[in-house]
Structure 1
């Protein structure tokens, strides 16, 4: 299936926006946030400190009378400079974000937007990594693809089993805090993956400019499913 066809397929799965967060949070309580390197206000924040970044995110949420700050697909971010996990001397710097982040309270309930089975899960413990992570496999109209949920609580994966089935709307996890989620303010990293390749419990959520075109095709904008931006464009 070609890139454009896959995006059209995803868009047509549901006319209504699907949800991965607690359904009691209305879209009116979501607010877009800019965490890119071009945000001059953010450039005055020490983003190497999860607590200082959390203050920035929480102030944004409060200012906009929101409960969730969201965004980040293909954002070029400075936040990853703090970790060698994204800055190996042998590779080009990885700083382009491939999912959508939903910044909200720790222990927020996470749901699957579609029927799926557990492909894999793992606690990715590198500094700045996902922490506890779940990958679901979906098969809709004989089209197979995957969704990734990162920065979860440790309890989210303790009793999980590969092949475990979830129905659309089932709770699959809760959000973790900075002590377990890779040292970030609590948030969900949600990502669509067309081809999981050989990964298990992990998949790149940040890429370098060199590999951007591959990942742009393999990991289309998750808002195709969530349709959060549609609410703000009305």
Structure 2
């Protein structure tokens, strides 16, 4: 790992910590921007270092640094009912790095010159890459709701009612409340902003001579 890559690993972990604090509510539904940092890590770093940046972020949380959403930190955050999402982040960042890298290299399109078609495909890639985080997030949330914290099912049901939807199946209720309602915001805001940011960053780094003109991705520039 060279110094530039090491620096970007740390920067991506800090960006993840910062983006986790950006949030808004739509009624009782809490939305955050922490997926922005995950996708940005995947677009900025080679696969193993994208994974490392998110592991570093988890390490920050575990050490008690208030880096998780809501300025939370400590081991309890990493074993709580939302911990599945956090543990899925390293896998999602790794996948985003692998898949985006393969796509850009195969299409021979530089990240700083992407157009609407590439934005759409990279957004779809980011949605696929987010699946591990959603899957682990749901499994842990479901386990807590059914085994340890039944109030989570009550909370989930109230969220569903706010949407004007009646669901009798508790599994589906928990899935909608813990995963489905967050996907549109994650993909259309967090992921798109991360793609735009990484594209703009590569364009700037090329303009100041930090990256070579032939670099298709930030991975190549930083390797």
TM-score (norm 2): 0.26
Q: Structure 1 or 2: larger strand share?
A: 1
Q: Structure 1 or 2: larger helix share?
A: 2
Pair member with larger Rg: 2
TM-score (norm 1): 0.25
